[in-house]
C-alpha cells in the first residue's frame, strides 16, 4: 500500500512509524562487523531511522538519536569537501565506476596503475582523504567541523577506541596506501594518511545528525547556512557516484530495490538522498555478506515503496 504519492502533502512520521513496525517483525538482521572488535558487540536488532527536510525539520523513529560509528558513511562528506576545493582535477586520481569487488580489494589497483575505481572503496577514500589532507593540513578535523555545522550538533567527535581498533587491524588499508604511493597517487606519508583515515571513520553520530548533515546534497550543494559548498553539477556528480558505487559491490541491487543515491558503512548506517526533497539516515548494525545493513536496506526499500519518492 502506498501511503501518499503527493510530495507536497507528504507527512514523514507515519511512514517512519510504519517502517519501524515492519522492521520489528523481520527475522534475521545479519551480523555486526566482527573484524573491528569495537563494533562486534553491537546488538543487530537495534534500529533507528531519520528523515531531514530541506528546511532542517527532522523526523525519526526507534534509536534515531543513538550515536553509532559512521565508518564509510563519512566518505561522502570527505569527497564533497575535497571536490569543493579542487574540482574536476580530483577525477584524474580516482575513478567513478563501480568496482564489482569487495571494498578493501587490492586486485584492481595493479592493472589500473594505482588509480582506484571509485571514491567509496577503501583505496579511493584513501586518495580523497590524502588530497584533502594536502589542502587543509587536517582532513579529519575539517570533516568533523563540517559535520558539526551541518548537523547542528557541536558534541560530535571521534571515538578513540574505534580508531585504535582500526589501526590495529589496518594492514590491508596500509597495503592499499603504499601500493598507490608507489604509483605516485598518494602525496602524504602513509602513516599520517592512515591516522587521518582511521580518525575519519571513527566519528560517531546519530541518524538525526547524519540525515541533517546530508541535506546539502538534497539542496543541490547548498549548506545549512545558505552558502554554497558545491556547484549543482558537483552535487549531481556525488549523488550519481553514490547511486552506482555507494553500497560496495551491492550497488546494483541497492539501486534496484531502493532507487536513491546512498552510502553505507560497516557500522550499520546508510545515508540516502532524495534530490530536491529530503535526506535520510537509517542505522541497524547487523550486516549482510557485502557489508550493508540488512534492516537498513529493507527500511529504505519500504520508504521508497510507501512514499513513491525515488530518482526513477
CA pair distance 108, 261, nearest whole angstrom: 24
Percent helix / strand / coil, the chain, rounded to 5: 50, 10, 35
Instruction: Reply yes or no on whether 72 is catalytic.
Output: yes
* Pair type for strands 203-205 and 48-53: unpaired
CA atoms within 13 A on the CB side of 309: 27
Catalytic one among 105, 165, 248, 273? 248
CA proximity to 293, closest of 106, 66, 101, 49: 49
Residues shown for the chain: 312
Catalytic one among 59, 75, 274, 294? 75
| Furthest C-alpha separation in the chain | 55
CA 108 to chain centre: 22
CA proximity to 127, closest of 197, 208, 225: 197
- Tell me the backbone φ, ψ of residue 281, rounded to 5 degrees: -140, 135
Instruction: Reply yes or no on whether 59 is catalytic.
Output: no
Instruction: Reply yes or no on whether 197 is catalytic.
Output: yes
Catalytic one among 69, 128, 190, 197? 197
Asked if residues 270 and 296 have their Cβ atoms less than 8 Å apart, the reply is yes
- Just list the catalytic residues: 72, 75, 197, 248, 266
Amino acid at each position: 500500500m502506498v501511503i501518499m504519492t503527493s510530495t507536497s502533502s507528504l507527512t514523514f512520521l507515519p511512514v517512519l512509524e510504519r517502517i519501524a513496525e515492519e522492521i520489528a517483525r523481520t527475522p534475521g538482521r545479519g551480523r555486526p562487523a566482527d573484524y573491528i572488535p569495537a563494533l562486534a558487540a553491537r546488538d543487530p536488532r537495534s534500529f533507528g531511522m531519520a528523515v531531514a527536510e530541506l528546511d532542517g525539520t527532522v523526523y525519526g523513529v526507534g534509536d534515531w538519536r543513538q550515536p553509532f560509528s559512521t565508518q564509510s558513511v563519512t566518505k561522502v562528506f570527505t569527497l564533497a569537501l575535497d571536490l569543493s576545493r579542487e574540482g574536476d582535477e580530483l577525477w584524474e586520481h580516482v575513478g567513478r565506476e563501480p568496482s564489482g569487488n569487495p571494498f578493501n580489494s587490492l586486485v584492481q589497483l595493479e592493472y589500473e596503475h594505482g588509480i582506484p575505481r571509485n571514491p567509496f572503496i577503501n583505496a579511493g577514500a584513501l586518495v580523497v582523504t590524502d588530497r584533502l589532507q594536502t589542502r587543509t593540513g587536517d582532513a579529519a578535523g575539517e570533516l568533523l567541523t563540517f559535520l558539526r555545522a551541518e548537523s547542528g550538533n557541536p558534541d560530535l567527535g571521534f571515538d578513540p577506541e574505534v580508531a585504535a581498533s582500526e589501526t590495529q587491524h589496518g594492514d590491508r588499508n596500509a597495503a592499499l596506501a603504499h601500493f598507490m604511493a608507489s604509483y605516485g597517487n598518494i602525496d602524504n606519508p602513509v602513516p599520517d594518511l592512515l591516522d587521518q583515515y582511521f580518525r575519519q571513520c571513527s566519528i560517531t553520530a546519530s541518524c538525526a545528525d547524519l540525515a541533517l548533515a546530508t541535506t546539502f546534497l538534497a539542496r543541490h550543494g547548498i549548506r545549512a547556512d545558505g552558502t554554497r559548498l558545491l556547484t549543482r553539477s558537483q552535487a549531481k556528480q556525488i549523488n550519481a557516484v553514490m547511486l552506482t558505487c555507494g553500497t560496495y559491490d551491492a550497488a546494483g541491487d541497492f539501486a534496484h530495490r531502493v532507487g536513491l543515491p546512498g552510502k553505507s558503512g560497516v557500522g550499520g548506517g546508510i545515508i540516502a538522498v532524495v534530490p530536491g526533497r529530503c535526506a535520510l539516515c537509517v542505522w541497524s548494525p547487523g550486516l549482510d555478506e557485502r557489508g550493508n545493513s540488512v534492516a537498513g536496506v529493507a527500511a529504505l526499500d519500504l520508504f521508497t515503496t510507501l512514499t513513491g519518492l525515488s530518482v526513477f
